[in-house]
Structure 1
């Protein structure tokens, strides 16, 4: 119970102050006149003013409230390294015991883990949320149990009590990490791009660990190559991409004895390989309606460099025109087919037949070009079935079908075969075109030798045959009437899209591989896609960053396409395999933000802790005691941390009682006035 005197004036406060001034003036006048009872007159005035002020005695019944100490426990990924979990558990128990030994003090423990995504350690956010549930008048102190590596220092709250930090970790902790400081998102195929790496050691690094170390580099999960690199220096690594699409490049250094973790010993760079330009050589035979169509299709794409070679006048034509007037310059056939053939990405023969212009050695060179990784597309016309067919050349060794010497002149609608429904070149092609296609009126009868028939014509005869030859690819189109689609005959058809897919398939674009395993990521969710011409059930094995594995069953969601989604339990590099194909994908960075800096340090906490006169103490030096200190005093010392008792209470009852009745003040004032009169009268 406590008591205090309060005032509730019976008149406005301004009037009360005016009365007090008037009373002081009158008492001063009495003193100036030399009246002997001036002091009695002053006491009488005080009694009247006290009556007007209405003094009362207020008593309160108070229930003391306990002081609160908040302990924020960091359980992020970096706090699970080495012996930090044990240190944390022991520290929590010690703090619990120390707080229990203090009078009228309770402990509230708040635990938090990794932030969402790759936010890192949100220590100050957790502290702010904990303080939001604690009345500021009861907060005696806050203790952070952490390694000091936080990523939200700008959210530090203001505290009316000391803030302390207990740091986990050991004095001799050290760690090595690999950084990629410069990596482009895109790169031109065949052109060199430079990545900047740095290997950095942190903490109490042993003397034997300096100098150089070995870095393993692997592309798309392939066999790694090892290189010796210096430690602590920027290193420029030249990289040349060899295929289009996503290229996953992983750099890693071996784990060293004694280092805290190997989770930051790897870095993953995903670079999208793009072609600068597609270089195409188009060789046309005698002029026909489809020749202009091929040229227009290729010239309409600004990313295509086209060289068009057309036979306008065969050697056996005798029309008496002087040779000097036939051409301004000789066409560089030798340069195109011998010297610079490897500079082309795609060679197209459009209704071309042997006429003695291109000798057999040129065709033999085209065959070698394909076997070494080139691409060849043949749009066959009636000449392909004749004696002068280019099939009767060294190209026969690489063509997937041979002509039966029969040319069928009959209307038909091209169809996609069952295999073509699963092949990425023709998958969904008819649905995209909106249904039926226009008719063609010529089909070269082909006898397949190998490869995949993805389109058919009359009586299911092969129309489009695809094949892989050595390192290259070949496509054979058994008709020269594709131009009817471009003209829109009977609704036309997807000639442009078909040509685009053919070109990209022959350029080995990953999205058009018929046998491919790929994965895409959105946050921590991975979508796995397996493309296959086979209908067998598919599954993949996923190797997690922590070394564990999971088996994921795939479901056929479209012809030739098997997919499934997988929730990655943590960030890092995942390896996928179905026993035949392999791929890798990174969910978030290979080394999450939690592992960028793993050495315990209180440097980032200096400012918020010093603002409350708190302290930062390492646990490896011993667990400090808890003491109570007065508000405003330094709250830490050697081996101890201080908290400030708040003395908070809850008022349960309030009683207000007048000090004296009003008549008592009036009687006292009257007696003092009479006393003044008597004293002055006797004089």
Structure 2
């Protein structure tokens, strides 16, 4: 590579002025008829050229090797039958054949698993962008064609792109597709999931029609089976029966096929788990106050402040036995709708609160029996008792007494005392961690009155008062729950008496535990999913110990995980799952289903090998798609613009295009002429012009003397 460069000694305008002056002198001499005008003009131009500093720039070049990019797809879908050996053989053969090409380098890019699937297009675009365009001779991708970032494919590639497709022509698969599933659902109301079971690939004739038995269970409970048609969208109705997370498991068994080609590619996409959070539409609470008292509005304010609670509140201002001579038609009070509330619509309520309620003949015995039946079938009762609990009008003496967790002794203690948590109370989620209750001495204010009771053997005493007498008793009756607070003095905390206490928090927890809120279950197994597959297990229990936790993996294997104490009634363990999928947890009688990542990873959503996503790029670059089930193709070289793939007698072939790129390795600059040569050239041109003019002058002087003679 040789070219002329200039290194001027003067500004270009000065050199241009000198060249123009030389041309003017030459032109003037021509006009005057001087014979040396050309030599003088050339001398001026030579001087201008010498001042411009012309030099020869001589560069040395070296040829560059061509680059071939080899994409090695090692994603999870490449582990399906025969694809691993096919990939290994093709990569090894292509590596060897590329190494045998003269002046050719290999760039091998391995594509692994990602949370978003196979990002082959992203890796391909990065690899092409990292190499000089003039050196890229070809791209070879060994893959099943299932990539999940097609938008990242480069718009064009300056070399042929070839796809060596893994898999077999007879591959087929059947998968479960969830088309629509809700994230939330109302308890005891129907939610729907839309799904379909579809076939892909070369489905054997004996299984390509008919129906499939779909299995369904919620939270690992009793499994239901129903027949659904193939390749048809169906709507599946579900009913959620509790608040919080509901894990819905849906799946079907792989079809049994007795053919040489074998069954479907994988059963990893035959099941899935959907997490639906159950929420209550509204919590319906019936509050019955037996008489007006200082703490009556405490319950009302608490429940009315919760936007999720529908509260119906009745206060009995005039009991039936009151005789004051006022005609009924002149009273502004409404009649207590006992028949409607406690017989006809009692099941509409999630919680019934009796606040200082006395048995005064308002409710017949059958009504109390119906309330007891309501609790046993899953309802909840909360009794906030005052002095009336110790008298003859006590609720315990009614038919409702059979479900109350304690028997009154008939004694009322009128003295200040500090409510304290029991050992059970420190474990129970209703009272555990109450603000101010840490340590041996709570920092709460005192209460002034309480009734004494004898708790039932199976009841849980969470708080005590005077001389460790039971203050808060919690119990389960059948499917329902009962809570008894033996004092009506909780309102003192709300008024700030002696510093007050966590009144609203305590009453809120009692009410929500009674309504079976999942976060307040005393026996619970919780799983907090953290980064990736990391999980923190929390076991909440009233027992002194828990565990080990039995974890059943998606492949059927089990792990035992020891739980470490983390406070009263709480045991935790940190664990990392080996892979995404559906895990079953078991500790004693507790069961739970945990879905980590998708039950069917994205890699297994589409499993039949297909190069359709890469087809446009392959066609535009002149490359080809070759199935490795037919063998590894031969590798050739062709000139740019020629067809880069084809078939021959010995099998298919693909080609790369040598680019013959080069780079400048050295650069040398030499003056066109040395300085003394320019001086000689300019002086020679000036001398030639002078001599030319001198000859003309000499010839003009001799002519007269030759013709002269004597006159």
Q: How high is the TM-score relative to the length of structure 2?
A: 0.85
Work out whether 1:142 is the aligned partner of 2:139.
yes
Work out whether 1:446 is the aligned partner of 2:453.
yes
**Conserved 8 A contact 2:164-2:625:** yes
Cα deviation, residue 387, structure 1: 2.3
Matches within 5 A, 1:166-245: 166-207=164-205, 208-245=207-244
Per the alignment, residue 33 of structure 2 pairs with none
**Conserved 8 A contact 1:433-1:493:** no
SS in structure 2 at match of 1:261: coil
In structure 1, C-alpha distance between the alignment counterparts of 2:681 and 2:133, rounded to whole Å: 44
Per the alignment, residue 496 of structure 1 pairs with 504
Cα deviation, residue 87, structure 1: 0.8
CA offset digits 1:395-419 (Å, max 9, x no partner): 2221111011111111111111111
In structure 2, the CA distance between the partners of 1:310 and 1:57, relative to structure 1 (3 Å rule), is closer
SS in structure 1 at match of 2:655: strand
Q: Which residue, 547, 572, 580 being the options, matches 2:589? A: 580
Per the alignment, residue 647 of structure 1 pairs with 660
Structure 1: tracts of 5 or more residues without a match: 31-42, 678-683
Per the alignment, residue 356 of structure 1 pairs with 361
Cα deviation, residue 491, structure 1: 2.1
**Conserved 8 A contact 2:19-2:44:** no
**More divergent stretch after superposition (143-152 vs 307-316):** 307-316
CA offset digits 1:612-654 (Å, max 9, x no partner): 3222222123211111122233322232222121223454444
SS in structure 2 at match of 1:78: helix
Cα deviation, residue 13, structure 1: 9.5
CA offset digits 1:46-80 (Å, max 9, x no partner): 99999999997766554443222111111111111
Per the alignment, residue 697 of structure 2 pairs with none
Per the alignment, residue 699 of structure 2 pairs with none
In structure 2, C-alpha distance between the alignment counterparts of 1:182 and 1:304, rounded to whole Å: 30
CA offset digits 1:541-567 (Å, max 9, x no partner): 222334443332222222212122222
In structure 2, C-alpha distance between the alignment counterparts of 1:537 and 1:641, rounded to whole Å: 64
Cα deviation, residue 590, structure 1: 1.9
In structure 2, the CA distance between the partners of 1:433 and 1:285, relative to structure 1 (3 Å rule), is farther
In structure 1, C-alpha distance between the alignment counterparts of 2:681 and 2:623, rounded to whole Å: 54
Per the alignment, residue 680 of structure 1 pairs with none
CA offset digits 1:284-315 (Å, max 9, x no partner): 22332222332333233333222333332233
In structure 2, the CA distance between the partners of 1:655 and 1:337, relative to structure 1 (3 Å rule), is closer
Per the alignment, residue 127 of structure 1 pairs with 124
CA offset digits 1:481-533 (Å, max 9, x no partner): 12222222222222221121112111111111100112122342222111011
In structure 1, C-alpha distance between the alignment counterparts of 2:241 and 2:681, rounded to whole Å: 105
Per the alignment, residue 408 of structure 1 pairs with 413
Work out whether 1:79 is the aligned partner of 2:78.
yes
Matches within 5 A, 1:649-668: 649-654=662-667
In structure 1, C-alpha distance between the alignment counterparts of 2:538 and 2:589, rounded to whole Å: 14
In structure 2, C-alpha distance between the alignment counterparts of 1:234 and 1:265, rounded to whole Å: 16
**More divergent stretch after superposition (451-460 vs 322-331):** 322-331
**More divergent stretch after superposition (522-531 vs 236-245):** 522-531
In structure 2, the CA distance between the partners of 1:648 and 1:396, relative to structure 1 (3 Å rule), is same
**Conserved 8 A contact 1:523-1:588:** no
**Conserved 8 A contact 1:520-1:585:** no
**Conserved 8 A contact 1:47-1:668:** no
**Conserved 8 A contact 1:540-1:551:** yes
Per the alignment, residue 443 of structure 2 pairs with 436
Matches within 5 A, 1:222-371: 222-256=221-255, 257=257, 258-326=263-331, 329-371=334-376
In structure 2, C-alpha distance between the alignment counterparts of 1:346 and 1:154, rounded to whole Å: 55
In structure 1, C-alpha distance between the alignment counterparts of 2:301 and 2:565, rounded to whole Å: 38
Work out whether 1:593 is the aligned partner of 2:602.
yes
Q: Which residue, 389, 409, 415 being the options, matches 1:384? A: 389
In structure 2, C-alpha distance between the alignment counterparts of 1:411 and 1:300, rounded to whole Å: 30
In structure 2, C-alpha distance between the alignment counterparts of 1:302 and 1:631, rounded to whole Å: 73
Q: Which residue, 506, 515, 528 being the options, matches 1:520? A: 528
In structure 1, C-alpha distance between the alignment counterparts of 2:491 and 2:54, rounded to whole Å: 109
In structure 2, the CA distance between the partners of 1:421 and 1:9, relative to structure 1 (3 Å rule), is closer
**Conserved 8 A contact 1:421-1:454:** yes
In structure 2, C-alpha distance between the alignment counterparts of 1:617 and 1:665, rounded to whole Å: 70
**More divergent stretch after superposition (506-515 vs 348-357):** 348-357
**Conserved 8 A contact 2:436-2:501:** no
Work out whether 1:540 is the aligned partner of 2:549.
yes
In structure 2, the CA distance between the partners of 1:55 and 1:501, relative to structure 1 (3 Å rule), is same
**Conserved 8 A contact 1:51-1:666:** no
**More divergent stretch after superposition (319-328 vs 167-176):** 319-328
**Conserved 8 A contact 1:48-1:669:** no
CA offset digits 1:451-474 (Å, max 9, x no partner): 100010011110111011100011
In structure 2, C-alpha distance between the alignment counterparts of 1:629 and 1:659, rounded to whole Å: 43
In structure 2, C-alpha distance between the alignment counterparts of 1:48 and 1:312, rounded to whole Å: 125
Q: How high is the TM-score relative to the length of structure 1?
A: 0.88
In structure 1, C-alpha distance between the alignment counterparts of 2:319 and 2:667, rounded to whole Å: 119
**More divergent stretch after superposition (236-245 vs 607-616):** 607-616
**More divergent stretch after superposition (462-471 vs 300-309):** 300-309
Q: Which residue, 477, 483, 489 being the options, matches 1:481? A: 489
SS in structure 2 at match of 1:533: coil
**Conserved 8 A contact 2:43-2:683:** no
Work out whether 1:619 is the aligned partner of 2:632.
no
Q: Which residue, 533, 539, 553 being the options, matches 2:562? A: 553
Q: CA RMSD in A?
A: 3.7
SS in structure 1 at match of 2:247: strand
**More divergent stretch after superposition (214-223 vs 82-91):** 214-223
In structure 1, C-alpha distance between the alignment counterparts of 2:213 and 2:72, rounded to whole Å: 37
**Conserved 8 A contact 2:449-2:489:** yes
SS in structure 2 at match of 1:614: coil
**Conserved 8 A contact 1:218-1:251:** yes
Per the alignment, residue 706 of structure 2 pairs with none
In structure 1, C-alpha distance between the alignment counterparts of 2:467 and 2:550, rounded to whole Å: 43
SS in structure 2 at match of 1:226: strand
Q: Which residue, 563, 566, 573 being the options, matches 1:564? A: 573
In structure 1, C-alpha distance between the alignment counterparts of 2:564 and 2:372, rounded to whole Å: 40
In structure 2, C-alpha distance between the alignment counterparts of 1:81 and 1:371, rounded to whole Å: 54
In structure 2, C-alpha distance between the alignment counterparts of 1:316 and 1:591, rounded to whole Å: 69
Per the alignment, residue 476 of structure 2 pairs with 468
SS in structure 2 at match of 1:236: strand
In structure 2, C-alpha distance between the alignment counterparts of 1:10 and 1:252, rounded to whole Å: 84
Per the alignment, residue 156 of structure 1 pairs with 153
Aligned length: 673
CA offset digits 1:213-239 (Å, max 9, x no partner): 111111112232111111222111111
